[in-house]
Each structure stands twice: as C-alpha cells, then as structure tokens.
C-alpha cells in the first residue's frame, strides 16, 4: 500500500495579516466536498469542491465571531440534487441570545450569504434567536435538520430548514432559507456531545448515549383550530381517512405539510385520500404550519386549519428516547476520583459509521460501537418512540491506545467501515471495523443475536507536528491539522 502526502501551505490567503490566524478546527461536507477552516480569531474560510492534491479555489471569508458551525444539507426529495448550507452561531447581547448566520453553496461553486426566515423575521442576514448563548453553544446537522444546544439554557432546539418556493425570497439577490423550530428538549442531565445523523439525535451523557428518533421530533404536535366561524371538528370525519395527521405523514419527507396557498388554489379531497404534491420542505414551525382541508358536508366544504406546534419534551422522556449504557474498560471501572467515588466515563464524541451503527469515544479514551438491531421507524400516526434499549446494543472495542481524537466518514455502501484515530501525539492510525458472525446454539437461534465486532489497523501515519485535529475526506484520504500546518495523506 502506497501513501501519498502533501503539506497544504496555500490554504490561507496571502491577503491575511501577518502573522495569519491559526487554524483551530476542520469541517468537511462530503456530498459537495466543501471544506471549512475555523480560525483562531473566530472567523472561517469556506472552500467549495476541495481537493487536497490540487490548487484550492479562492475561499469565502466568514467574518467573526463564530463560536460554533456546521454544514447542513437541504434535500427536498431523495431524487433532488440538494443544496449545502454553512451555519455559524455567535453570541448576541452579551451572550443573552444566539445570532445565526448562513452561507449557501451556489451552482457556480461559490459560497454566498443567505437570508434567514424565522417566524416574523424575514430575510435576515443575521438571525437573533431568544436562546441564551452563555460561554458556548453546539451546532450539529444532518439532511434537512439541525440542532442548537445551549449549555446556559439547558435546552436543545430542533430545527428543520428548507428553501422557499421563490429562490430570491431573501431579497436583494440573496437566496433565502426558511427555518422552522419543531421541538425543544429540556435537559435534566449533563450532555457532553451532540450528533444528528441517519434519522437519529444522539446525546452523549455520563456512562452512555441517549437516542431520539428524529421523525417524531420534527412532526411536532398537532391540533384542529377554529377557522371561518366553523366550530371545531374532528378532521377524522373525512371519509376514508383516519386523521389528517395520517394523511399528511404518508409519503411526505420530514413531516412536510401542505401550505395554505396550495389549498386555496384547489383544496384536496381528503375523502379520496389525495393530497397535492407539496413544495420542497414546508414543515412545522412555531406559528403553526397550516393544512387547509375540506370536511365533506353536502355540496359545500367547511374549512379548518391543522396547526403543528413546537413539541416540548424532557431529555429523559421514555416516550421519545431510550438510553444505552456503555461498557467501560477495567481501568475505568476500578479507578476512583479524589473523593473515593468510582469514576465514570462520558461519551464525548459520536460519529455515524453506517445507517444502523455509530462509533462512540468516551472520556477515558475507549471506543464503543452502538448498533441498532431492527429497522427503527416511527409508525404512522404516533409521536412516541417505537424502540426500546432492547433494540440497540453497545459493544466495547478492544484496543490498547487511549484515543483522544476520532474521525469517521459514514459509508453505507460497504460492510467494512474505515475510521481514523489519534492519541493526540504525533501519529494517526487508519482503522477498519467489521462484523464477525458468531456461532449460535440450537437452543438460542435468534435473528437479533448480536454479532461480534472486530477492528484492524490498516495504516499508521507519523507527523512532524503534534496533531490538533483529523478530518477524513474519503475512505482512503485524510487531512491532519498540526501546530501551524495542514497535511493531506491518501493511500493507494
């Protein structure tokens, strides 16, 4: 196996002041190959279509202050090309609020500022959210969904994002992005990491990981409201439809509901079980995304509005989440702190390996694999979590290194996944993980029987600088951030 290496010395523009700010963190979006460099002065540089072994395009500068950032992919339908959004959060009003800014990747491979629409705030270049920033916040995103974790407020806000029907809805030639807050999770226990991936919201806690299904969270809560002088009616009175909730949810991506404008132009017949094809991503929000419906009553239809409200739940709610315990190594189980209390490990980093498998790093430097046994999908018409801890299993991986850094690029196309680890020194190790079939006795044949997990070392990379961050670009390529330099390595 050959190893190709290159030192990236031309990522920081020469127009930067001398000495230029140091790179503190690396972010990467695989579908567009977009790279973000988080700098020590709280600014960012965005590179579209990044390739480590060719000259990078001119970056887009994100002015300070950015205390948290993430890439968000907007995908209105599985067949659509999608759009990539870069979100950055910063403190506002001495940390009493959070300011959110966005940049969108245009078709010409250039990041441009995007306007944000939220509630009554329209076309904002910087959106103020009434959530305390405090010392820091966390941002995590997946397809169409992102979450904002405020440590000061002990809350996690769950948002859905979409592009409006008019691409220039932001005004002034700037594209717009609609944001809808679907759920608020009130935290009652410390959270050490947050991840959103593969339809799950995962919270790293003490001694384990809490798992939420995203689908029930972004559906929100619904109610039927009075409209046009007509008394409140149960929309389930429509023939052939159990409820309008079921009608909305069937075949609709991420809880999309039909906008009022669609109904005014031609109301659907709920009795026939038909709904118009919605525009991309019209989802629940605080104001109540409305579905104009018709309840058959003779020859005339009575209009009602179905309003989706923000769901509010507790972190330890068994209706929406379940907790999976990590099995710690013997060193952690036998160690005690200064007070003589047995030490515990926190889940400090969570990464998706595949659709049903997640890799977790704890504070003791141990790795764990969280596997979902069954297909966990929220049934239609219910907002509760349909899975229990019995549907998931945590395996402790056997390794000698005390891991300080973990980087994973999810790949659902192969049975063997690749990840990268470092002890925070001068080496990075390329590892593979795969399931091993275990023999099952005749008296214990069960399809949900757990498979053993095996990890193997593929490659070791040694650097001349102490490693600050690692970022996988593909299954065989990685960026390594040293103390002042960025190195690119690829295996062939």
Going by pLDDT thresholds of 50, 70 and 90, the confidence category of residue 300 is very low
In this predicted model, which residue has the larger pLDDT, 199 or 376? 199
Mean of pLDDT values over 38-63: 91
Neighbours of 41 (CB within 10 A): 16
Going by pLDDT thresholds of 50, 70 and 90, the confidence category of residue 210 is very high
Distances from the Cα of 133 to the Cα of 195, 196, 292, 299, 439, angstroms: 19, 20, 37, 54, 52
CA distance 184 to 200: 15
**Taking the mean position of all CA atoms in its chain, how far away is CA 480?**
23
**Taking the mean position of all CA atoms in its chain, how far away is CA 402?**
27
pTM of the model: 0.78
What integer pLDDT is reported at residue 434 of this predicted model? 84
Please state which of the ranges 164-168, 314-318, 412-416, 474-478 shows the lowest mean pLDDT.
164-168
Q: Across the chain, what does the average pLDDT equal?
A: 77
Mean of pLDDT values over 82-110: 95
Identify the burial level of 210 via C-beta atoms within 10 angstroms of its C-beta, where 0-12 means exposed, 13-18 middle and 19 or more buried.
Answer: buried
In this predicted model, which residue has the larger pLDDT, 218 or 361? 361
Q: Which of 345, 457, 324 is nearest to 395 (CA)?
A: 324
Neighbours of 299 (CB within 10 A): 5
Residue 268 has pLDDT above 80, yes or no: no
In sequence order, the 6+-apart residues with CB closer than 8 A to the CB of 8 are 52, 56, 479, 485, 486, 487, 488
Going by pLDDT thresholds of 50, 70 and 90, the confidence category of residue 362 is very high
| pLDDT one-digit tens code per residue, 452-486 | 778 899 999 999 999 999 999 988 899 999 998 99
Mean of pLDDT values over 345-356: 93
Residue 259 has pLDDT above 70, yes or no: no
Mean of pLDDT values over 383-403: 78
In sequence order, the 6+-apart residues with CB closer than 8 A to the CB of 59 are 11, 13, 37, 45, 46, 47
Residue 437 has pLDDT above 80, yes or no: no
Mean of pLDDT values over 6-21: 71
Residue 266 has pLDDT above 50, yes or no: no
Going by pLDDT thresholds of 50, 70 and 90, the confidence category of residue 81 is confident
What integer pLDDT is reported at residue 6 of this predicted model? 79
Residue 285 has pLDDT above 50, yes or no: no
Going by pLDDT thresholds of 50, 70 and 90, the confidence category of residue 9 is low
Answer for the pair 299, 182: CB distance below 8 angstroms, yes or no.
no
* Domain ranges within the chain, ordered by starting residue: 221-309
Identify the burial level of 154 via C-beta atoms within 10 angstroms of its C-beta, where 0-12 means exposed, 13-18 middle and 19 or more buried.
Answer: middle
Residue 104 has pLDDT above 60, yes or no: yes
CA distance 64 to 38: 10
Going by pLDDT thresholds of 50, 70 and 90, the confidence category of residue 196 is very high
Answer for the pair 144, 31: CB distance below 8 angstroms, yes or no.
no
């Amino acid at each position: 196996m050959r190893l190709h290496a290159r030192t990236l010395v031309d990522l920081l523009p020469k127009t930067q002041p001398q000495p230029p700010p140091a790179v503190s963190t690396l972010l990467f979006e695989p579908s567009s190959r977009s790279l973000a460099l988080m700098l020590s002065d709280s600014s960012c540089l965005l590179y579209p279509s990044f390739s480590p072994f060719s000259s990078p395009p001119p970056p887009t500068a994100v002015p300070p202050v950015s205390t948290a950032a993430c890439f968000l992919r907007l995908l209105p339908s599985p067949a659509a090309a999608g759009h990539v959004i870069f979100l950055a959060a910063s403190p506002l009003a001495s940390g009493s609020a959070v300011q959110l800014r966005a940049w969108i990747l245009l078709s010409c491979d250039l990041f441009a500022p995007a306007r944000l629409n939220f509630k009554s705030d329209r076309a904002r270049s910087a959106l103020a959210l009434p959530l305390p920033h405090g010392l820091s916040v966390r941002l995590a995103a997946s397809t169409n969904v992102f979450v904002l974790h405020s440590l000061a407020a002990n809350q996690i806000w769950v948002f859905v994002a979409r592009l409006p029907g008019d691409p220039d809805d932001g005004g002034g030639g700037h594209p717009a992005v609609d944001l809808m807050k679907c759920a608020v999770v009130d935290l009652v226990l410390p959270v050490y990491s947050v991840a959103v991936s593969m339809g799950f919201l995962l919270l790293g806690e003490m001694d384990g990981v809490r798992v939420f299904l995203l689908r029930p969270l972004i559906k929100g809560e619904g109610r039927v409201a009075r409209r046009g002088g007509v008394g409140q009616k149960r929309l389930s009175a429509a023939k052939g439809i159990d409820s309008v909730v079921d009608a909305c949810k069937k075949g609709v991506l991420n809880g999309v509901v039909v906008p009022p404008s669609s109904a005014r132009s031609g109301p659907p017949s709920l009795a026939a079980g038909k709904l118009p094809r919605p525009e991309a991503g019209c989802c629940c929000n605080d104001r109540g995304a409305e579905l104009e419906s018709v309840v058959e009553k003779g020859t005339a239809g009575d209009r009602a509005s179905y309003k989706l409200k923000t769901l509010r739940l507790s972190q330890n709610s068994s209706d929406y989440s379940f907790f999976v315990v990590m099995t710690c190594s013997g060193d952690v189980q036998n160690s005690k702190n200064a007070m003589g209390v047995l030490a515990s490990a926190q889940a400090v980093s969570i990464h998706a390996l595949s659709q049903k498998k997640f890799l977790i790093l704890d504070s003791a430097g141990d790795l764990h694999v969280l596997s979902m046994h069954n297909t966990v999908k929220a049934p239609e018409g219910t907002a509760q979590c349909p899975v229990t801890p019995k549907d998931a299993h945590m395996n402790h991986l056997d390794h000698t290194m005390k891991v300080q850094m973990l980087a994973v690029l999810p790949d659902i196309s192969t049975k063997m996944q690749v990840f990268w680890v470092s002890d925070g020194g001068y080496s990075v190790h390329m590892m593979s993980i795969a399931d091993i079939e275990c023999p099952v006795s005749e008296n214990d044949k069960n399809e949900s029987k757990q498979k053993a997990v095996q990890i193997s070392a593929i490659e070791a990379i040694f650097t001349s600088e102490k490693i600050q961050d690692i970022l996988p670009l593909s299954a065989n390529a990685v960026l390594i951030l040293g103390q002042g330099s960025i190195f690119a390595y690829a295996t062939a």
